[in-house]
Structure 1
Amino acid sequence: MNTPTSTDSSRPLRRKGHRWWLAGVVAALVLAAGSIGYGMATGHQAANGEAQAMVAHAVQVMPFDLNATTHTFTKTPDGGVEQIVAHSSGDEHNVTLIQQHLSREADQFAQGNYSDPVAIHGTAMPGLQELQAGASRMQSHYEQLPTGAKITFTSGDTALVAALHTWFEAQTMDHSMPGMGGGN
Protein backbone atom coordinates (compact mmCIF):
# COMPACT_ATOMS: atom_id res chain seq x y z
CA MET A 1 0.00 0.00 0.00
CA ASN A 2 1.34 3.39 -0.99
CA THR A 3 0.76 5.94 1.78
CA PRO A 4 1.78 9.59 1.58
CA THR A 5 4.83 10.55 3.54
CA SER A 6 6.29 13.89 4.49
CA THR A 7 8.49 13.70 1.38
CA ASP A 8 5.49 13.05 -0.92
CA SER A 9 5.16 16.34 -2.79
CA SER A 10 1.88 15.60 -4.58
CA ARG A 11 -0.35 16.38 -1.62
CA PRO A 12 1.07 19.82 -0.69
CA LEU A 13 1.08 20.81 -4.38
CA ARG A 14 -2.55 19.91 -4.67
CA ARG A 15 -3.34 22.14 -1.71
CA LYS A 16 -1.29 24.97 -3.19
CA GLY A 17 -3.07 24.46 -6.51
CA HIS A 18 -6.37 24.55 -4.71
CA ARG A 19 -5.37 27.80 -3.02
CA TRP A 20 -4.41 29.35 -6.37
CA TRP A 21 -7.68 28.21 -7.87
CA LEU A 22 -9.62 29.65 -4.93
CA ALA A 23 -7.66 32.91 -5.13
CA GLY A 24 -8.49 33.12 -8.85
CA VAL A 25 -12.20 32.60 -8.17
CA VAL A 26 -12.17 35.28 -5.45
CA ALA A 27 -10.34 37.71 -7.77
CA ALA A 28 -12.85 37.05 -10.55
CA LEU A 29 -15.75 37.66 -8.17
CA VAL A 30 -14.21 40.91 -6.95
CA LEU A 31 -13.71 42.09 -10.54
CA ALA A 32 -17.25 41.11 -11.48
CA ALA A 33 -18.70 42.91 -8.46
CA GLY A 34 -16.66 45.98 -9.31
CA SER A 35 -17.91 45.92 -12.90
CA ILE A 36 -21.50 45.56 -11.77
CA GLY A 37 -21.06 48.40 -9.28
CA TYR A 38 -19.55 50.60 -11.98
CA GLY A 39 -22.38 49.77 -14.36
CA MET A 40 -24.95 50.56 -11.71
CA ALA A 41 -23.22 53.82 -10.83
CA THR A 42 -23.02 54.98 -14.45
CA GLY A 43 -26.61 53.86 -15.02
CA HIS A 44 -27.61 55.82 -11.94
CA GLN A 45 -25.76 58.88 -13.28
CA ALA A 46 -27.59 58.52 -16.60
CA ALA A 47 -30.87 58.17 -14.73
CA ASN A 48 -30.04 61.29 -12.72
CA GLY A 49 -29.34 63.17 -15.95
CA GLU A 50 -32.63 61.99 -17.43
CA ALA A 51 -34.46 62.93 -14.22
CA GLN A 52 -32.96 66.42 -14.28
CA ALA A 53 -34.00 66.84 -17.91
CA MET A 54 -37.51 65.63 -17.07
CA VAL A 55 -37.82 68.14 -14.22
CA ALA A 56 -36.60 70.91 -16.54
CA HIS A 57 -39.26 69.97 -19.13
CA ALA A 58 -41.95 69.71 -16.43
CA VAL A 59 -41.21 73.24 -15.24
CA GLN A 60 -41.76 74.47 -18.81
CA VAL A 61 -45.07 72.60 -19.25
CA MET A 62 -46.64 72.90 -15.79
CA PRO A 63 -46.92 76.55 -14.71
CA PHE A 64 -47.31 75.90 -10.97
CA ASP A 65 -44.58 75.28 -8.39
CA LEU A 66 -43.93 71.53 -8.48
CA ASN A 67 -42.38 71.61 -5.01
CA ALA A 68 -45.48 73.27 -3.53
CA THR A 69 -47.94 70.79 -5.06
CA THR A 70 -48.75 67.10 -5.14
CA HIS A 71 -49.51 65.35 -8.42
CA THR A 72 -51.22 61.95 -8.09
CA PHE A 73 -52.58 59.31 -10.45
CA THR A 74 -55.20 56.94 -9.01
CA LYS A 75 -56.50 53.97 -10.99
CA THR A 76 -60.23 53.15 -10.90
CA PRO A 77 -62.05 50.13 -12.38
CA ASP A 78 -63.24 52.13 -15.40
CA GLY A 79 -60.35 54.61 -15.74
CA GLY A 80 -58.56 56.81 -13.28
CA VAL A 81 -58.11 60.20 -11.66
CA GLU A 82 -55.23 62.60 -12.20
CA GLN A 83 -55.19 65.16 -9.41
CA ILE A 84 -52.96 68.11 -8.58
CA VAL A 85 -53.35 70.01 -5.31
CA ALA A 86 -51.40 72.74 -3.59
CA HIS A 87 -49.83 71.82 -0.25
CA SER A 88 -51.22 74.98 1.34
CA SER A 89 -54.93 75.81 1.15
CA GLY A 90 -54.01 79.52 1.17
CA ASP A 91 -51.78 79.21 -1.92
CA GLU A 92 -54.22 80.91 -4.31
CA HIS A 93 -51.55 81.53 -6.95
CA ASN A 94 -50.68 77.84 -7.40
CA VAL A 95 -54.33 76.76 -7.06
CA THR A 96 -55.28 79.07 -9.95
CA LEU A 97 -52.37 77.84 -12.09
CA ILE A 98 -53.25 74.19 -11.37
CA GLN A 99 -56.87 74.77 -12.33
CA GLN A 100 -55.96 76.53 -15.58
CA HIS A 101 -53.45 73.84 -16.47
CA LEU A 102 -55.68 70.83 -15.82
CA SER A 103 -58.66 72.46 -17.56
CA ARG A 104 -56.51 72.88 -20.68
CA GLU A 105 -55.12 69.33 -20.33
CA ALA A 106 -58.61 67.80 -20.09
CA ASP A 107 -59.62 69.58 -23.31
CA GLN A 108 -56.45 68.42 -25.08
CA PHE A 109 -56.74 64.82 -23.84
CA ALA A 110 -60.34 64.66 -25.12
CA GLN A 111 -58.92 65.39 -28.60
CA GLY A 112 -56.12 62.82 -28.27
CA ASN A 113 -53.54 65.56 -27.79
CA TYR A 114 -50.98 64.37 -25.25
CA SER A 115 -48.25 66.80 -26.35
CA ASP A 116 -47.67 68.18 -22.84
CA PRO A 117 -46.95 64.78 -21.24
CA VAL A 118 -44.83 63.91 -24.30
CA ALA A 119 -42.80 67.10 -23.79
CA ILE A 120 -42.05 65.98 -20.22
CA HIS A 121 -41.84 62.18 -20.40
CA GLY A 122 -41.07 61.47 -24.07
CA THR A 123 -42.91 59.57 -26.78
CA ALA A 124 -42.07 56.08 -25.48
CA MET A 125 -44.22 56.38 -22.36
CA PRO A 126 -46.20 53.13 -21.86
CA GLY A 127 -49.88 53.40 -22.81
CA LEU A 128 -49.47 56.74 -24.58
CA GLN A 129 -50.05 55.57 -28.17
CA GLU A 130 -53.21 53.70 -27.17
CA LEU A 131 -54.57 56.77 -25.36
CA GLN A 132 -53.87 59.02 -28.35
CA ALA A 133 -55.52 56.58 -30.76
CA GLY A 134 -58.48 55.85 -28.47
CA ALA A 135 -59.36 59.42 -27.48
CA SER A 136 -62.90 59.10 -28.85
CA ARG A 137 -63.50 56.13 -26.50
CA MET A 138 -62.12 57.85 -23.38
CA GLN A 139 -64.03 60.54 -21.50
CA SER A 140 -62.07 63.10 -19.50
CA HIS A 141 -64.00 65.19 -16.99
CA TYR A 142 -62.36 68.25 -15.42
CA GLU A 143 -63.30 69.32 -11.89
CA GLN A 144 -62.05 72.17 -9.71
CA LEU A 145 -61.10 71.37 -6.12
CA PRO A 146 -60.62 73.87 -3.27
CA THR A 147 -56.83 73.40 -3.45
CA GLY A 148 -56.39 72.41 -7.10
CA ALA A 149 -58.16 70.30 -9.70
CA LYS A 150 -58.59 66.82 -11.10
CA ILE A 151 -59.33 65.04 -14.34
CA THR A 152 -61.42 61.89 -14.14
CA PHE A 153 -60.88 59.51 -17.06
CA THR A 154 -63.53 56.87 -17.85
CA SER A 155 -64.02 54.33 -20.61
CA GLY A 156 -66.01 51.19 -21.26
CA ASP A 157 -63.13 49.88 -23.40
CA THR A 158 -61.15 47.54 -21.12
CA ALA A 159 -58.06 47.66 -23.35
CA LEU A 160 -58.08 51.46 -23.20
CA VAL A 161 -58.54 51.39 -19.41
CA ALA A 162 -55.56 49.03 -19.20
CA ALA A 163 -53.52 51.47 -21.33
CA LEU A 164 -54.55 54.33 -19.02
CA HIS A 165 -53.51 52.28 -15.97
CA THR A 166 -50.14 51.56 -17.60
CA TRP A 167 -49.73 55.26 -18.40
CA PHE A 168 -50.68 56.16 -14.80
CA GLU A 169 -48.06 53.73 -13.46
CA ALA A 170 -45.37 55.39 -15.59
CA GLN A 171 -46.61 58.84 -14.56
CA THR A 172 -46.56 57.84 -10.89
CA MET A 173 -43.00 56.57 -11.25
CA ASP A 174 -41.81 59.75 -12.96
CA HIS A 175 -43.69 62.10 -10.64
CA SER A 176 -42.30 60.38 -7.55
CA MET A 177 -38.87 61.85 -8.32
CA PRO A 178 -37.70 64.90 -6.35
CA GLY A 179 -38.90 68.11 -7.93
CA MET A 180 -41.79 66.47 -9.82
CA GLY A 181 -44.63 66.98 -7.32
CA GLY A 182 -45.07 63.27 -6.60
CA GLY A 183 -47.59 62.00 -4.14
CA ASN A 184 -48.59 58.35 -4.40
Structure 2
Amino acid sequence: MKPTILFTTLIVMAGLNAPHESLAADAERRAQVAQRGAQVMPFSLKATTHIFSKSDDGGSQRVIAKNPSDGVQIRLIREHLREIQAHFQRGDFSGPARTHGPDMPGLAQLEAAKPGQISIAYKDIKSGGQITYRSDDPKLVSSLHAWFDAQLSDHGADAVDGQMHHHAGMPQP
Protein backbone atom coordinates (compact mmCIF):
# COMPACT_ATOMS: atom_id res chain seq x y z
CA MET A 1 0.00 0.00 0.00
CA LYS A 2 1.28 3.46 -0.89
CA PRO A 3 2.28 5.69 2.07
CA THR A 4 -0.36 8.35 1.24
CA ILE A 5 -3.16 5.77 1.04
CA LEU A 6 -1.97 4.13 4.26
CA PHE A 7 -1.81 7.50 6.02
CA THR A 8 -5.30 8.47 4.80
CA THR A 9 -6.70 5.10 5.85
CA LEU A 10 -5.18 5.45 9.33
CA ILE A 11 -6.60 8.98 9.73
CA VAL A 12 -10.09 7.81 8.69
CA MET A 13 -9.92 4.81 11.02
CA ALA A 14 -8.77 7.00 13.93
CA GLY A 15 -11.67 9.36 13.27
CA LEU A 16 -14.14 6.49 13.30
CA ASN A 17 -12.84 5.31 16.67
CA ALA A 18 -12.87 8.77 18.31
CA PRO A 19 -16.63 8.87 19.09
CA HIS A 20 -16.41 5.44 20.73
CA GLU A 21 -13.48 6.55 22.88
CA SER A 22 -15.34 9.74 23.82
CA LEU A 23 -18.47 7.79 24.78
CA ALA A 24 -16.41 5.39 26.87
CA ALA A 25 -14.69 8.31 28.62
CA ASP A 26 -18.07 9.97 29.29
CA ALA A 27 -19.48 6.72 30.69
CA GLU A 28 -16.40 6.24 32.87
CA ARG A 29 -16.66 9.82 34.19
CA ARG A 30 -20.38 9.40 34.93
CA ALA A 31 -19.64 6.19 36.84
CA GLN A 32 -16.96 7.98 38.89
CA VAL A 33 -19.29 10.92 39.58
CA ALA A 34 -22.08 8.55 40.64
CA GLN A 35 -19.70 6.71 42.98
CA ARG A 36 -18.42 9.93 44.57
CA GLY A 37 -21.94 11.39 44.62
CA ALA A 38 -23.15 8.46 46.71
CA GLN A 39 -20.70 9.60 49.40
CA VAL A 40 -22.00 13.20 49.27
CA MET A 41 -25.72 12.81 48.51
CA PRO A 42 -27.77 10.72 50.94
CA PHE A 43 -30.46 9.89 48.38
CA SER A 44 -30.20 7.42 45.51
CA LEU A 45 -29.11 9.01 42.25
CA LYS A 46 -30.94 6.28 40.32
CA ALA A 47 -34.17 6.88 42.28
CA THR A 48 -34.12 10.63 41.63
CA THR A 49 -33.93 13.13 38.81
CA HIS A 50 -31.94 16.38 38.89
CA ILE A 51 -33.61 19.13 36.84
CA PHE A 52 -31.57 22.23 35.95
CA SER A 53 -33.39 25.28 34.59
CA LYS A 54 -31.46 28.37 33.54
CA SER A 55 -32.89 31.87 33.80
CA ASP A 56 -31.65 35.32 32.84
CA ASP A 57 -30.51 35.93 36.43
CA GLY A 58 -29.39 32.42 37.43
CA GLY A 59 -31.60 29.37 37.56
CA SER A 60 -32.99 26.55 39.63
CA GLN A 61 -31.90 23.08 40.58
CA ARG A 62 -34.71 20.67 41.40
CA VAL A 63 -34.27 17.14 42.67
CA ILE A 64 -37.35 14.93 42.62
CA ALA A 65 -38.01 11.31 43.46
CA LYS A 66 -38.83 9.25 40.37
CA ASN A 67 -41.48 7.50 42.46
CA PRO A 68 -43.66 10.29 43.94
CA SER A 69 -44.75 7.98 46.78
CA ASP A 70 -41.16 7.27 47.90
CA GLY A 71 -41.26 9.23 51.15
CA VAL A 72 -37.76 8.16 52.17
CA GLN A 73 -36.14 9.58 49.00
CA ILE A 74 -38.21 12.78 49.24
CA ARG A 75 -37.14 13.31 52.86
CA LEU A 76 -33.48 12.67 51.99
CA ILE A 77 -33.63 15.04 49.01
CA ARG A 78 -35.12 17.83 51.12
CA GLU A 79 -32.66 17.37 53.99
CA HIS A 80 -29.71 17.37 51.60
CA LEU A 81 -30.83 20.40 49.60
CA ARG A 82 -31.48 22.41 52.78
CA GLU A 83 -28.00 21.47 54.00
CA ILE A 84 -26.22 22.37 50.78
CA GLN A 85 -28.17 25.64 50.55
CA ALA A 86 -26.72 26.60 53.95
CA HIS A 87 -23.23 25.57 52.78
CA PHE A 88 -23.55 27.46 49.49
CA GLN A 89 -24.70 30.62 51.28
CA ARG A 90 -21.40 30.51 53.20
CA GLY A 91 -19.46 30.06 49.95
CA ASP A 92 -18.79 26.39 50.72
CA PHE A 93 -19.13 24.44 47.47
CA SER A 94 -17.08 21.49 48.72
CA GLY A 95 -19.93 19.02 48.07
CA PRO A 96 -19.98 19.59 44.30
CA ALA A 97 -16.17 19.69 44.29
CA ARG A 98 -16.04 16.26 45.98
CA THR A 99 -18.64 14.86 43.57
CA HIS A 100 -17.59 16.44 40.27
CA GLY A 101 -13.98 17.44 40.95
CA PRO A 102 -12.41 20.76 41.91
CA ASP A 103 -12.00 21.83 38.26
CA MET A 104 -15.75 21.64 37.58
CA PRO A 105 -16.77 24.46 35.19
CA GLY A 106 -18.12 27.52 37.03
CA LEU A 107 -17.25 26.21 40.48
CA ALA A 108 -14.19 28.39 41.19
CA GLN A 109 -16.14 31.53 40.29
CA LEU A 110 -19.07 30.55 42.53
CA GLU A 111 -16.69 29.86 45.42
CA ALA A 112 -15.01 33.25 44.89
CA ALA A 113 -18.31 35.20 44.95
CA LYS A 114 -18.65 37.66 47.79
CA PRO A 115 -21.47 37.19 50.32
CA GLY A 116 -24.71 38.50 48.85
CA GLN A 117 -23.60 38.32 45.21
CA ILE A 118 -25.64 35.15 44.74
CA SER A 119 -29.06 34.69 46.33
CA ILE A 120 -29.59 31.02 47.16
CA ALA A 121 -33.10 30.02 48.26
CA TYR A 122 -34.53 26.58 49.08
CA LYS A 123 -38.14 25.39 48.99
CA ASP A 124 -39.99 22.08 49.15
CA ILE A 125 -41.70 21.09 45.91
CA LYS A 126 -43.88 18.13 44.99
CA SER A 127 -41.77 14.95 45.24
CA GLY A 128 -38.58 16.76 46.30
CA GLY A 129 -36.89 20.11 46.73
CA GLN A 130 -35.57 23.08 44.79
CA ILE A 131 -32.73 25.55 45.14
CA THR A 132 -33.00 28.81 43.21
CA TYR A 133 -29.87 30.83 42.42
CA ARG A 134 -30.03 34.51 41.44
CA SER A 135 -27.37 37.12 40.74
CA ASP A 136 -27.16 40.60 39.23
CA ASP A 137 -23.61 39.86 38.08
CA PRO A 138 -23.62 38.53 34.48
CA LYS A 139 -20.30 36.72 35.06
CA LEU A 140 -21.75 34.83 38.01
CA VAL A 141 -24.89 34.00 36.01
CA SER A 142 -22.61 32.57 33.28
CA SER A 143 -20.74 30.60 35.95
CA LEU A 144 -24.02 29.21 37.29
CA HIS A 145 -25.03 28.17 33.77
CA ALA A 146 -21.65 26.49 33.16
CA TRP A 147 -22.01 24.73 36.52
CA PHE A 148 -25.51 23.52 35.55
CA ASP A 149 -24.23 22.26 32.18
CA ALA A 150 -21.42 20.33 33.88
CA GLN A 151 -23.89 18.66 36.23
CA LEU A 152 -26.21 17.78 33.33
CA SER A 153 -23.30 16.12 31.56
CA ASP A 154 -21.94 14.34 34.65
CA HIS A 155 -25.28 12.96 35.85
CA GLY A 156 -26.27 11.64 32.42
CA ALA A 157 -29.72 10.07 32.34
CA ASP A 158 -30.35 11.05 35.97
CA ALA A 159 -30.40 14.78 35.09
CA VAL A 160 -32.44 16.81 32.64
CA ASP A 161 -32.46 20.31 31.24
CA GLY A 162 -35.56 21.95 32.71
CA GLN A 163 -36.21 24.04 29.61
CA MET A 164 -36.19 20.96 27.39
CA HIS A 165 -38.50 18.98 29.67
CA HIS A 166 -40.82 21.77 30.81
CA HIS A 167 -43.71 20.30 28.84
CA ALA A 168 -42.72 16.65 29.22
CA GLY A 169 -44.66 16.03 32.42
CA MET A 170 -41.90 16.95 34.89
CA PRO A 171 -43.22 18.43 38.11
CA GLN A 172 -42.97 22.19 38.17
CA PRO A 173 -42.34 24.22 41.32
What residue is the counterpart of 2:152 in the other structure?
172
Shift of 1:183: 2.1
1:113 and 2:92 matched: yes
Query: Do the aligned partners of 1:109 and 1:135 also contact (CA within 8 Å) in 2?
Result: no
Residue identity opposite 1:156 in structure 2: D
CA deviations over 1:49-100 (Å, ceiling 9, x no partner): 3222111001111111111111011111111101000112111010000000
Contact map agreement 2:92 2:111 (CA 8 A) in 1 = yes
Deviates more, 1:28-37 or 1:83-92: 28-37
Partner residue of 2:131?
151
* 2:160 is equivalent to residue 183 of structure 1: yes
Q: CA separation in 2, counterparts of 1:106 and 1:135?
A: 16
d(CA) in 1 for partners of 2:45, 2:62:
13
Distance (whole Å) between structure 2 residues aligned to residue 43 and residue 54 of structure 1: 16
What secondary structure sits across from 1:183 in the alignment? Answer: strand
* Runs of 5+ consecutive residues of structure 2 not aligned to the other structure: 162-173
Q: Which has the larger radius of gyration?
A: 1
Counterpart of 2:9, as a letter, is: V
CA distance in 1 between partners of 2:85 and 2:61 (Å) = 10
Pick one of 115, 119, 128 that aligns with 2:107.
128
CA distance in 2, matches of 1:42, 1:183: 24
TM-score by length of 2: 0.83
More helix by share: 1
Q: Residues 144 and 33 (structure 1 numbering): CA distance in 2 closer, same or farther, change over 3 Å?
A: same
The CA RMSD measured in Å over matched residues stands at 1.9
Identical aligned residues as a percent: 32
SS in structure 2 of the partner of residue 66 of structure 1: coil
Distance 2:150 2:22 in 1: 19
